[in-house]
């Protein structure tokens, strides 16, 4: 498929989803990337064989230099995944840390967009960034803002949470789930967790 066509991403994604039907339990495709995951080495070889067979039947080609096999963990779609858990990729975290204090609504939208990619790892995210989202209210989209101490603290807290390299664990459907909820005038929160070896691990915020 040619590069630059407006509908190319949609068409190719639909093509890959159709091609890999039956592989959903162990394969996650995204455009021309695909991650294959398994519980054991034997299963992984079986899954990889099925995947490559479908690729061959469709007469597609894979560039070996761009492939990584038998990885304990890997970076995929902005996340570091492996060992039953995931965390934001370091590049995503560093981009937020390097972003200077915003001086306009446009700049606030930029930083919120960057943080939003990592928001699933941050407990009480909506409440934490409320001072920033509140500054976006009003009809004018590009007007300058007054950078307040409240907004500064909100951004500092979010950056600190990300530097702690938050981790989310994969759910184990054979174990009980722990659901925690909370609400305030600023937001509604939920934590989905499980306990393993007497330690509670977060699955979803």
Residue 178: band (very low, low, confident or very high) from pLDDT cuts 50, 70, 90: very high
Which CATH superfamily hosts domain 7-70?
Reverse transcriptase/Diguanylate cyclase domain (3.30.70.270)
- Given a contact cutoff of 8 angstroms between Cβ atoms, the answer to whether 148 and 165 are in contact is no
Residue-wise pLDDT for 138-155, tens only, equals 756 667 788 899 999 999
- For the chain, domain boundaries: 7-70, 88-164, 168-204
Beta-bridge partner residues of 193 = 178, 202
Nearest to 204 by CA among 91, 86, 75: 86
Helices (H), 20-129: 41-57, 90-98, 105-116, 125-128
Counting Cβ atoms within 10 Å, is residue 33 exposed (0-12), middle (13-18) or buried (19+)? exposed
Distance CA 143, CA 102 (A): 12
This prediction has a pTM of 0.69
How confident is the model at residue 172, as a pLDDT?
A: 87
Residue-wise pLDDT for 107-133, tens only, equals 999 999 989 888 888 888 888 999 999
């Amino acid at each position: 498929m040619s590069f630059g066509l407006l509908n190319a991403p949609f068409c190719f994604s639909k093509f890959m989803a159709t091609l890999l039907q039956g592989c959903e339990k162990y394969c996650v495709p995204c455009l021309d990337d695909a991650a294959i995951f398994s519980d054991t080495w034997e299963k992984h070889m079986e899954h990889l064989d099925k995947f490559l067979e479908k690729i061959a039947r469709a007469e597609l080609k894979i560039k070996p230099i761009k492939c990584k096999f038998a990885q304990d963990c890997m970076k995929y779609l902005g996340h570091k995944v492996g060992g039953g858990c995931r965390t934001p990729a370091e590049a995503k975290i560093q981009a937020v840390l390097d972003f200077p204090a915003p001086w306009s609504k446009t700049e606030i939208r930029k930083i919120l967009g960057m943080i939003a990619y990592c928001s699933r790892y941050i407990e009480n995210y909506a409440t934490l960034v409320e001072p920033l989202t509140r500054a976006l209210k009003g009809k004018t989209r590009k007007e300058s803002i007054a950078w307040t101490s409240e907004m500064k603290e909100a951004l500092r807290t979010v950056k600190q949470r990300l530097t702690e390299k938050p981790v989310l664990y994969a759910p184990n459907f054979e174990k009980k789930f722990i659901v925690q909820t909370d609400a305030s005038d600023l937001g509604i929160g939920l934590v989905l967790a499980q306990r393993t070896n007497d330690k509670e691990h977060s699955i979803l915020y």
